[in-house]
Amino acid sequence: MAIPATSLSRPVPRQPAWQTTAIRAVPFAVALAAWWLATSPWGGLPRYVLPSPGAVLDNALELYAKGTLVSAILSSIGRMLLGFAFGSVLGVGLGILVGTNRAVAAFFMPLARFFQAVAGVIWIPLAVLWFGLSWKSVTFIIFNTVFFLVFYNTLMGVQTVPRTLANSILTLGGSRWDVIWEALIPGALPGILVGLRVGVGYGWRSLIAAEIIASGQGLGVLIWEGQRLFRIPDIILGLFLIGLISLTMDKLVFAPLQARTIERWGTSARAPQ
Amino acid sequence: MTAASAVYYRLAMGLAERPWLAALFRNLGPFVPLIAAWQIVVLLRIWPRSFLPAPAAVPQAFAFLVTESDLPGQVLRTIYRVTAGGLAGLGLGVLLGAMVGTSRGLHEALRGLIDYLQAVGEIGWLPLFIIWSGFNDRTIILTVAYTVFFPVFFGTMAGILAVPRTLANSVLTLGGGRRHVLWEVLLPGALPAIITGFRVGMGFGWRTVILAEMLIAQLGLGVMMFEARSFFRVDWILVGMVVAGVLWLVTDRFVLLPLESKTIQRWGVQVVER
């Protein structure tokens, strides 16, 4: 997100990690308690509006025992990895290729902007016609979401690298290859990582959406069938897992990576959290 | 030769005199080779016409959909839903963002829950929203509001945290209350970040509304595109995609972006990167 970095915000007091975790766990505990209370006999919320935490847990164990839960998770993650791998590699590669020449970049910018604006779920009807109701459509949608987001951000990232850096490498006898490798790629890395991080977040969402429409298995199918068959515990379980997997990808992979890159090569001193 | 260069000269002069014409040329020019390549692929007959219609079929389908199938009415319905959802998300995002941004304790405690709720995403909630609220506009608006809320919330919070404390302290020293600090210092100072968050949120909200329409509505741009699929009308789907893209880019370029730069000029206090 384009929130400008600043050195003027209040200094953050250092506190031990366990303390942060404990404080952040409190709202989850409160929400769980409220949910439990609302669905208990005292709260009186009927089961067809919201089942109790216990009912959701029982259902989860049942689905786990049947094996459907694990296969749904694995199929969603598998498609995500496939689509993301293609989308990110092509997006970064083409973004750098196009971004190195200023005239070419200026030419591609309006196209990148337009396709970035319609990337993702808007392609679902076309994907279904082209690839049928199958994993191909789903993978195409993730690829599409990730590719256009990453391409656009890489292109922007390359263009923010000051030309003086490239010129000084050339003046000092470096080749164009050195310029790309030593200045453009490291300089564009913060932008590339923004693209990858947003791409993972929205790629995952498009995956769920595409699964709802175009495929027979996965977490998207779990929640959508839950809605059709009125199995609310399925929906809540799916919702919980969708959030958990997305957050894990973001916090364990991309947040540290982004923080490192911005510290190392970025133009601002501190990384956004 | 001289005639050609005279034409080129006049064109260049014309572009130089009319910056909007130059901008139009710069922004639409790149689409010409793209459409030409598409036309060539169609002429090569790699895929049947029903699979990939010619570029010219898209304006034809557009004219047909406008005159025969009330496309403007469907688009207006979509615009209504995305606007209502966007404004709801904006209001809630600013309200909660301001609460969390002004209190360090709340900020620390709620961070995890809010990150988690954002990670779940609007599509994860959609089935539950349908069960609670039904197949109607309210559900779609709620889903869009959920999308727009998070970028606005984070924008407001980050914006408020970035306002220099000296400004707030000077208001307090000069006899102002906490209310004055909020309205005179924190919210105006956060405004550029709020608008940026809103812009990002609406970009994704625009996709959310179309997706939600595909899944649950009877009318709207998303419905039109999704119905076209069952008639195997790729040209109608392409019309929908172009309309969606153009409408968003026009809104973004001519409403949201100017709003953002105006607020940054007027109230921006941040040290902008670079």
Lowest-confidence segment of A18-27, A116-125, A134-143 by average pLDDT: A18-27
Mutate to test the interface with B, among A124, A160, A194, A206 (most CBs of B within 10 A): A124
Mutate to test the interface with A, among B49, B211, B263 (most CBs of A within 10 A): B211
ipTM of the complex: 0.84
Confidence of residue B77 (pLDDT cuts 50, 70, 90): very high
Give tens-digit pLDDT for A144-159: 999 999 999 999 888 8
Is B16 inside a domain boundary? no
Predicted local distance difference test score (pLDDT) of residue A46 = 84
Tell me: pLDDT of B209 over 90.
yes
Give tens-digit pLDDT for A98-115: 888 888 888 888 898 889
CB contact under 8 A, A208 and B124: yes
Is B230 inside a domain boundary? yes
Count of domains forming chain B? 1
Confidence of residue B151 (pLDDT cuts 50, 70, 90): very high
Confidence of residue A11 (pLDDT cuts 50, 70, 90): low
CATH architecture of A51-265: Orthogonal Bundle (1.10)
CB contact under 8 A, A205 and B193: no
Is B213 inside a domain boundary? yes
Which residue is associated with the tokens 């995305």?
A: B82
Give tens-digit pLDDT for A20-64: 888 888 888 999 999 998 888 888 788 888 888 888 999 999 989
Contacts of residue B126, Cβ cutoff 8 Å, sequence gap at least 6: A223, A227, B139, B143, B212, B215, B216
Is B217 inside a domain boundary? yes
Please give the C-alpha separations between residue A210 and each of A138, A231, A242, in angstroms, as whole numbers. 5, 21, 14
pLDDT average, residue stretch A158-176: 84
Contacts of residue B112, Cβ cutoff 8 Å, sequence gap at least 6: A24, A25, A27, A28
List, in sequence order, the alpha helices (H) in B69-186.
71-102, 104-133, 137-162, 165-173, 178-180
Give tens-digit pLDDT for A257-269: 777 777 776 654 4
What sign results for the dihedral spanned by CA atoms A210, A212, A213, A214?
Answer: positive
Predicted local distance difference test score (pLDDT) of residue B153 = 94
3-class secondary structure per residue, A169-209:
HHHCCCCHHHHHHHHHHHHHHHHHHHHHHHHHHHHHHHHHH
Mean pLDDT (chain B) is: 86
Give tens-digit pLDDT for B232-266: 889 999 999 999 999 999 898 888 888 888 887 77
Say if residues A222 and A238 touch (Cβ distance below 8 Å).
Answer: yes
Domain holding B171: CATH number?
1.10.3720.10
Q: How far apart are CA B74 and CA B85, in angstroms?
A: 17
Predicted local distance difference test score (pLDDT) of residue B273 = 42
Predicted local distance difference test score (pLDDT) of residue B202 = 93
Q: Is B203 on the interface with A (CB under 8 A)?
A: yes
Confidence of residue A12 (pLDDT cuts 50, 70, 90): low
Say if residues B61 and B238 touch (Cβ distance below 8 Å).
Answer: yes
Tell me: pLDDT of B94 over 90.
yes
Domain hosting B155: range is: 76-267
Tell me: pLDDT of A195 over 70.
yes
Tell me: pLDDT of B171 over 50.
yes
Closest Cβ opposite residue A108 in set B30, B131, B272: B30
Confidence of residue A14 (pLDDT cuts 50, 70, 90): low
- Among residues 199-258 of chain A, which lie with CB inside 8 Å of chain B? 201-202, 204-205, 208-209, 212-213, 220, 223-224, 226-227, 230, 232, 235-236, 238-240, 242-244, 246-247, 250-251
Q: How far apart are CA B240 and CA B238, in angstroms?
A: 5
Which residue is associated with the tokens 């109701």?
A: A133
Length of chain A: 273
Lowest-confidence segment of A3-7, A120-124, A232-236 by average pLDDT: A3-7
HSE toward the beta carbon, residue A134, CA cutoff 13 A = 5
Predicted local distance difference test score (pLDDT) of residue B272 = 44
Contacts of A118 in chain B (CB under 8 A): 207, 241, 244-245, 248
Tell me: pLDDT of B44 over 80.
yes
Tell me: pLDDT of B76 over 90.
yes
CB contact under 8 A, A125 and B26: no
Predicted local distance difference test score (pLDDT) of residue B45 = 84
A161-165, B102-106, B131-135 — which one is most confidently predicted on average? Answer: B131-135
Is B57 inside a domain boundary? no
Predicted local distance difference test score (pLDDT) of residue A2 = 43
Predicted local distance difference test score (pLDDT) of residue B2 = 62
Predicted local distance difference test score (pLDDT) of residue A3 = 44
CB contact under 8 A, A124 and B211: yes
